[in-house]
Amino acid sequence: MLTSRIDTEPQRLDYLDSVRGIAAMMVVIYHFIGWNWPDYTKFHVASMVFNGADAVSFFFVLSGFVLSYKYFQSDKEIKMGNYIYKRILRLYPAFIFTIIVNYLYWNRALLLEGNCIPVLKDMFLNNDQKLWEELAMVRLAHKFYIPGWTLGVEMVLSLVVPALVYLSRKNIKMIWWVIPMSIFIENHFSSFALHFVLGIMLAYYYPQIKEYDFSKSKYWKFRYFIALIVFLLFSVRHIRRIFPFGSTYDSVAEYLNIDMFHYTGIASALILLFIINNRPAQKILTNGLWLFLGKISYSVYLAHWLVVVHVMKYWDHYIAMFPNFYLGFFCLLLLVILITITCATLMYYFIEKPFRNRNFIYLIFNILNVIAISN
C-alpha cells in the first residue's frame, strides 16, 4: 500500500502530453498509408512502424494513467459530479464540432445546390442518418467520423476510473480481477478495460517505477530482447497479416477469447513504464515542438480523418500532378500532416480550449438565456 501521498497538487507530467501527440501523428500517417499504398507487403511493414491502429491502445492505457494519477499522488477526494463535468467538457465540444463538419461535408452536394433546409432538417429533426446517436458517442459503428468509436469507449471507461481508483486505494489487489474479466467476458468494452486497468496500476506504482534503477537490475542484460518482445506485441496485428500464425493459434485464441488488443494493451503499458522510468526520454519529450503537438493531440485526432478522406477521394487527380508516384505520395502525406496540424491548432484554440474554461461556459449559457428571454 502506498504511504507517500501528499496534500498538494501532484506534479504535471508534461512529457506524457508529448507522447500523446506522437501517437496521434502515428494515427494520421497510418490512415494515410493504409488507404493507398501500392505494395501490400510494404504497407504492412510500414504499418508496423507507423502503427496508428494500435496507437489507440496506448491512448487507452495513457488515459487510465492520467485520469487516476492525481488521486494516487495526493489525498484528493474524488468528486464524481465534477469529474464527469470535466470529462464531458474535455471530450464533447470538439467532438460535436467534428461530427457536424463531417456531416456537412458528406452532404455538401445538397448544400451547394441550395438545399440547406432539407439537410438541416434531417440533421436536427428527422435523424434519418442517426446523427444524434453519433453526437452522443453511443453509436459503436460511426458513419461520419469513423474513428469516433474510440471516443465512445474512452468516455464509457473513463467513467469507471473513479470506482477503480477507490478500490485501489483500499487495496490494489481489488482491481486485479478486472484483468481476467476483460479477457473472458466478451463485449465491445471488455478488451479495452484491460488497458485502463494497466494504466491505473502504473499510476498507483508511479513513485516506485520512477525511482527504480533498471540498469542495476537482473533484467538489464535482457533489455534488447525485452524491447523486441514489446515491439512484436505492439505490432502483432500486422505481423499476423504478413505471417499467419496458423489454425492452431486461431483455435486457441478463439477458445480463450484473446483479442489482438490484449497484446497491444500489454505492450503499451510496458512502453509507458519505460517512459516513466527513463529521464533522458522525458527530456527529449519536453521539447517545445513535441509539447505543442501534445497540446493539440486531441484536435489532431479529430481533424485528420476528414483531411485524409478528402485527399483520398480525389487521389487520382492529386497524384497525377506529380511526375513520380512516390514523390507524389510523400508530398501529399506531408500536405495532409500540415493541413491537419493547422486545422487542429484552430480547433484547439477556438473550440477545445475555451470550453475547458468555466467562465466561457457561463458566458454561453447567459447569451442563450438572453436570447430565450428576448424571444
Residue 9 within a domain: no
Residue 273 vs residues 203, 278, 309: alpha-carbon distances, Å: 10, 9, 35
Residue 136 within a domain: yes
Listed ranges 42-51, 56-65, 209-218, 223-232; the one with the highest mean pLDDT: 56-65
Dig out the grid coordinates for 193 from the structure: 478495460
- Residue-wise pLDDT for 311-345, tens only, equals 999 998 999 999 998 899 889 999 999 999 999 99
Percent of the chain as helix, strand, coil, to the nearest 5: 80, 0, 20
Instruction: Output the average pLDDT for the chain.
Output: 82
Contacts 24+ apart (CB under 8 A), 130-136: 131/99, 131/103, 134/99, 135/95, 135/96, 135/99, 135/100
The answer, yes or no, to whether residue 72 has pLDDT greater than 50, is: yes
Residue 203 within a domain: yes
* Residue 321 φ/ψ, nearest 5 degrees: -75, -10
pLDDT average, residue stretch 118-137? 71
3-class secondary-structure state, position 90: helix
Model pLDDT, residue 52 = 72
pLDDT average, residue stretch 20-40? 81
- Residue-wise pLDDT for 254-289, tens only, equals 555 566 777 888 889 999 999 999 999 999 999 889
Residue 121 within a domain: yes
pLDDT average, residue stretch 217-239? 81
Cβ–Cβ under 8 Å, residues 344 and 302: yes
Asked whether the CA dihedral 311, 317, 321, 324 is positive or negative, the reply is positive
Dig out the grid coordinates for 41 from the structure: 507487403
Residue 267 within a domain: yes
Which of 13-17, 336-340, 368-372 is predicted least confidently?
368-372
The answer, yes or no, to whether residue 100 has pLDDT greater than 80, is: yes
List CB contacts of 211: < 8 A, sequence separation 6 or more: none
* Side-chain-facing half-sphere of 305: CA atoms under 13 Å: 19
Structural domain span for residue 64: 14-374
The answer, yes or no, to whether residue 188 has pLDDT greater than 80, is: no
Model pLDDT, residue 37 = 62
* Residue 224 φ/ψ, nearest 5 degrees: -70, -35
- Residue-wise pLDDT for 342-367, tens only, equals 999 999 999 999 988 766 666 666 66
pLDDT confidence tier of residue 242, bands split at 50, 70 and 90? low
Residue 3 within a domain: no
The answer, yes or no, to whether residue 3 has pLDDT greater than 50, is: no
Residue 6 within a domain: no
- Return the amino acid letter for 142: H
Query: How many other CB atoms sit within 10 Å of the CB of residue 361?
Result: 15
Residue 5 within a domain: no
The answer, yes or no, to whether residue 252 has pLDDT greater than 60, is: no
**Domains: count for the chain:** 1
Model pLDDT, residue 349 = 95
Which of 12-16, 131-135, 237-241, 274-278 is predicted least confidently?
237-241
Distance of alpha carbon 197 from alpha carbon 158, whole angstroms = 11
